[in-house]
Amino acid sequence: MSSHSIQTKLRDSGIEILGDLAWGSHFCNFFESTEDLLQILVPYFKAGLINNEFCLWITSDPITVEIAYEALRNEISNFDQYEKKEQIIILPHVDWYLRDKKFMPDIVINGWYQKLKESLKKGFDGMRVSGNEAWLERDVWKNFIDYERTLNNSLKDHNMIVLCTYPLDKCDAHAVFDVSQVHEMALTKRKGNWEFIEVPAIKLTKSQLARHKKELEDEVAKRTKELTTMNKRLKKEIDQHKLTQDALLKTEAKLLTVFEATDTAYLLLEYDLTILLFNHRATDIIRKVFSWLLKTGDNVHDFLTGERQVLFTDRVQRALKGEQINYETNYVLKNESLWYHVRLFPIPKDDKGIFGLVLALTDITERKNFEISRSNYVRQIEIQNEKLNNIAWTQSHIVRAPLARMLGIMNVIEDGEKSLDETLMWLKHLRNSANELDEIIKDMVDKAQHLK
């Protein structure tokens, strides 16, 4: 864990004289009796358990592991729950400081931090530990003080609080001084009262520094309240301006995308028809129709000449008066005929004036060609209908005459009172009528074939 991730919130020490402690606190207690030791350690670990901290208690004379568990059970009604979720472990000093019957500082320190890492993974806020150093002998004293100094210097970067306890009857003045030098503060009980033993090299504990820092922050906040309010107002205005500016830039980008992607040619014109802005489609159309390479600063009159210029000028005057102009125009080139739908409309100013004009050209050649083809097709149908009407008239009038004669002749022949000469005469008339009918039918067939 790095110093950037360590929580700065103060923790309840459980010890009235100490109050709250910051993570990384390292202090010691010089005790005279078992009662004194339990009076400081039981509330210390109780506060840790209540505040979701993993607790590790390393015992030594005069407190055994059993005495420690019993003391906590007597003080904490739901202690069994903390045991079940393995929030507290109590070990004898030989299982922690002297694992191989030898004190190895690096192994002990790494052991603390390994336990801390495991506790954080289990969801605890941090770790609270205490080690009773009554087991210390003079031959390891210097080595142990060096260990305490190393631990003290490294704790500031970890969510961990450490309380080291020393029996006062085994510590002379030099020992008390040595221990005090490697802890932030030292506590002891004299005549029934808890007292601080001031450490010359470290006058302020991490907790005191945290409290002083908070007081300073409160004072600064108090004195700069008005400035903060003004800054907030100014920041709000700046943020609003930035939001507006960002919105405008986004809108401009979107419009530019549409402006360039559309199939319609757009030219933005000043009042005098100077070209301010145009899209790629406009470039393509002007080059194709007028053989003119369009550029900003050109004037419409540069490539629009003759009668078309006169008509366009008239339409411009109407548009400058606020009218929206719509018309279709045709350009006949060498190999093709092009049609465009032209729109000309004014660009209003904020003060209700007119800034300029927008000229929009949409290629409608395909639609116009379709309309022309459709018109031609309709005319062809009308001509065919006229021919069909003529054929129908022929059927109802011209065909009917020879057919009626033939029916009359057949009635005369069937009479049976005719001579042979008369019969032959009537047969001749019948043949003539049949030939006439045949010619009429051939003519009708010929006309019908020309309808295709």
pLDDT tens profile 364-415: 888 888 888 887 877 877 777 777 777 667 666 677 777 777 777 777 777 7
Q: Exposed (0-12), middle (13-18) or buried (19+): which is 124, by Cβ within 10 Å?
A: buried
Helix H or strand E encompassing 26: strand 26-31
pLDDT tens digit sequence for 10-66: 899 999 988 999 999 999 999 999 999 999 999 999 999 999 999 999 999 999 999
pTM of the shown model: 0.47
Q: Is position 3 within any domain? A: no
pLDDT tens digit sequence for 105-131: 999 999 999 999 999 999 999 999 999
| Distance from C-alpha of 39 to C-alpha of 75, rounded to nearest angstrom | 11
The CATH number of the domain where 268 resides is what? 3.30.450.20
Please give the single-letter amino acid code of residue 395. Q
Q: Is position 187 within any domain? A: yes
Q: Is position 256 within any domain? A: yes
Assess whether 232 and 149 both reside in one domain: no
Q: Is position 240 within any domain? A: yes
Helix H or strand E encompassing 58: strand 53-59
CB atoms within 10 A of CB 62: 15
Assess whether 44 and 162 both reside in one domain: yes
Assess whether 24 and 154 both reside in one domain: yes
The most confident of 95-109, 247-261, 333-347, by mean pLDDT: 95-109
Q: Is position 376 within any domain? A: yes
Q: What is the pLDDT of residue 53?
A: 97
- Structure tokens belonging to residue 264: 């319609």
End position of a domain, from candidates 332, 363, 394:
363
Assess whether 166 and 27 both reside in one domain: yes
Assess whether 299 and 376 both reside in one domain: no
Assess whether 289 and 415 both reside in one domain: no
Q: Is position 59 within any domain? A: yes
Residues of 258-271 as b/e, b for ≥16 C-beta within 10 angstroms?
A: ebeeeebbbbbbee
Give the confidence band of 443 by pLDDT, cuts at 50, 70, 90: confident
Assess whether 343 and 396 both reside in one domain: no
The CATH number of the domain where 112 resides is what? 3.40.50.300
The CATH number of the domain where 395 resides is what? 1.10.287
Q: What angle do CA 255, 261, 262 make, to 5 degrees?
A: 90
Residue 102 has pLDDT above 90, yes or no: yes
Assess whether 40 and 91 both reside in one domain: yes
User: What is the three-class DSSP state of 131?
Assistant: strand
Assess whether 47 and 185 both reside in one domain: yes
Reply yes or no: is the peptide bond before residue 92 cis, omega within 30 of 0: no
Q: Indicate the number of domains in the chain.
A: 4
Assess whether 249 and 269 both reside in one domain: no
Task: Specify whether the CB–CB gap between 315 and 295 falls below 8 A.
Answer: no
Q: Is position 347 within any domain? A: yes
Q: Which residues contact 107 (CB under 8 A, 6 or more apart)?
A: 99
| Distance from C-alpha of 257 to C-alpha of 127, rounded to nearest angstrom | 59
End position of a domain, from candidates 317, 334, 363:
363
DSSP secondary structure letters along 191-214: TTEEEEE-BTTB-S-HHHHHHHHH
Domain containing residue 302: 263-363
Q: Is position 1 within any domain? A: no
